[in-house]
Amino acid sequence: MQTTGNQIIANNLTKSGSDTFYAKNPATGEQLATEFVEATAEEIDRAVQKAEEAFVIYRKKSDQERADFLDKIGEEIMNLGDTLLELCHQETGLPMGRLTGERGRTVNQLKLFAELLRDGTWVDARIDTAMPDRQPLPKPDIRQMQIALGPVGVFGASNFPLAFSIAGGDTASALAAGCTVVVKGHPAHPGTSELVGRAIAQAVESSGMPAGTFSLVQGKSVEVGMGIVQHPLIKAIGFTGSFRGGKALFDAANQRDEPIPVYAEMGSINPVFVLPEALKQRSDKIAEGWVGSLTLGVGQFCTNPGVLVSMNSEETTQFLKVAEQSLSSLSTGAMLTNQISEVYQSAVNQMSQIEEVATVATSQRSDAATAAEGQIFSTSAQRFLTNSELSDEVFGPSSLHVTAQSKNEMLEVAKNLEGHLTATLHATDRDLEEYADLVAILERKVGRLLVNGFPTGVEVCHSMVHGGPYPATTDSRTTSVGTLAIKRFTRPISYQNFPQNGLPQALKNENPLRIFRLVNGKLTQEPTS
């Protein structure tokens, strides 16, 4: 399958604009062959209008039908074969092994939501039966469940061209919820976006879904994305990217005549706390793991460990020596785009010039066009607490070591953190007992707490939370990974005194779907009367 540079609007390939752009190979700097065209305002409007038309039909499809559709998307992605991986490698510079794994994650994510739909309990059905003889007033029959919001806008991410992009978690969870989707492809990998978009379009057709269930628009300009956010028929937004980009979308969505939710996953420094007993027992292993985590994927993960905190001690001195040796022996690869590379270089240059910040280690530099050197910096907790610049995210293979002089100073560092996606504790059982107050602080700061691991690597499962308090995300109650992500694109509705033949299947007395429901306060699969 060859790329065309077209938009995909309701299963039709279109190209009516005049502004063009090209993808570049970040490893070589080579411009790739396909010319892509910026979506016009008319094309964006048509995509959203078609999404609204399709939503009226798609939201009524059964959970089984939508589950089969999600499975079919996964099959069509796999049918693209190595063509998808090879093009994605050219557009991103990411190694084939990484992309093969990410494709598997993308397909498995679709399968997980399909399984959720087949179970059916996700609708959170609640039934309170009538009590007509209740005094002083009768109690009505009230039944509640989750329903889809409407057409959703999704923004593809730069750093995960498959798993957080066209058929990624936002799209999968929105489609699972019964929403139609208009996706803006990321301009760093437009060919990859088109191939996956065409796979989804094929699944739409072969599954008998309405044509406007999915559309893909492309472009480098801000206007393309804002055209989706500001369209009055769009009911929610899913975004993964920078704080600046996510905040701009959030502000625009809240300035609409009808404000809509924006579920933006943005920046995070993902602090790591190495507690005293753990440092004594395995400092070398922790140091090597830290370096491996901060350089993984050239540091271009939203879960990159950007800050590590430990006590001032002989063990910390040894820890930093091992980290320096480990990083100095590595050569980091290509960053995803020239812009990301330039922003990273500017950030590490700025960090190195801050007073009382020392450079601990620098990696070797590869010959990639967008190569970046890994960096470890160090400062005191006191300096960290008095200079807010030190808590800014540096998107790339860099981390800052913070030395605390006491437990209280370590707690102060934790208290002064903003919201982040993760926090990690390297600790023994004794450490966890003695630092229970640190855990209590971090519970209010992050969406995921780890013990004796590193935050890079986000398992796709029912219990995962990939979110956190602002500014990590715009809504700390949600996750962009795992099955709870479906609730971002639904809302509750109650049906009062409805006749049985007018109720959705999930709320009928006989429980034809055989799902678990909360009936008069008790969870059961049994029919009700």
Q: What pLDDT, on a 0 to 100 scale, did the predictor assign at position 398?
A: 97
The fold of 272-451 is Aldehyde Dehydrogenase; Chain A, domain 2 (3.40.309)
Q: Please tell me whether the overall predicted TM-score, pTM, comes out greater than 0.95 for this model.
A: yes
Beta pairing class for 307-311 and 448-451: unpaired
Tell me, what's the pLDDT at 454?
97
**pLDDT digit of tens for each residue in the chain (529 aa)?**
799 999 999 999 999 999 999 999 999 999 999 999 999 999 999 999 999 999 999 999 999 999 999 999 999 999 999 999 999 999 999 999 999 999 999 999 999 999 999 999 999 999 999 999 999 999 999 999 999 999 999 999 999 999 999 999 999 999 999 999 999 999 999 999 999 999 999 999 999 999 999 999 999 999 999 999 999 999 999 999 999 999 999 999 999 999 999 999 998 999 999 999 999 999 999 999 999 999 999 999 999 999 999 999 999 999 999 999 999 999 988 999 999 999 999 999 999 999 999 999 999 998 899 999 999 999 999 999 999 999 999 999 999 999 999 999 999 999 999 999 999 999 999 999 999 999 999 999 999 999 999 999 999 999 999 999 999 999 999 999 999 999 999 999 999 999 999 999 999 999 999 999 999 999 999 999 8
Are 164 and 131 within 8 A, CB to CB? Answer: no
Residue 32 φ then ψ, to 5°: -80, 165
User: Cβ(472)–Cβ(421) under 8 Å?
Assistant: yes
Q: What's the CA dihedral at 92, 94, 100, 104 to 10 degrees? A: -70
- Active-site option among 302, 324, 373, 409: 302
Q: Enumerate the domain spans of the chain.
A: 39-266+476-487, 272-451
Residue 302 annotated in active site: yes
Considering the domain 39-266+476-487 in this protein, what is its CATH number? 3.40.605.10
**Cα–Cα distance measured from residue 326 to residue 38, given in angstroms and rounded to the nearest whole number:** 44
Which structure tokens are listed for 180?
């139609």
Catalytic residue among 52, 91, 265, 409: 265
Which residues are paired to 201 by β-bridges?
A: none
Count the Cβ atoms, other than its own, within 10 Å of residue 136: 4
How many helical (H) and strand (E) elements, i.e. helices and strands, does the chain have?
15, 23
Contact present, 20 and 40 (Cβ < 8 Å): no
The CA distance from 388 to 90, in Å, is 38
How many other β-carbons are positioned within 10 Å of the β-carbon of residue 518? 14
Whole-angstrom distance, CA of residue 189 vs CA of residue 394: 22
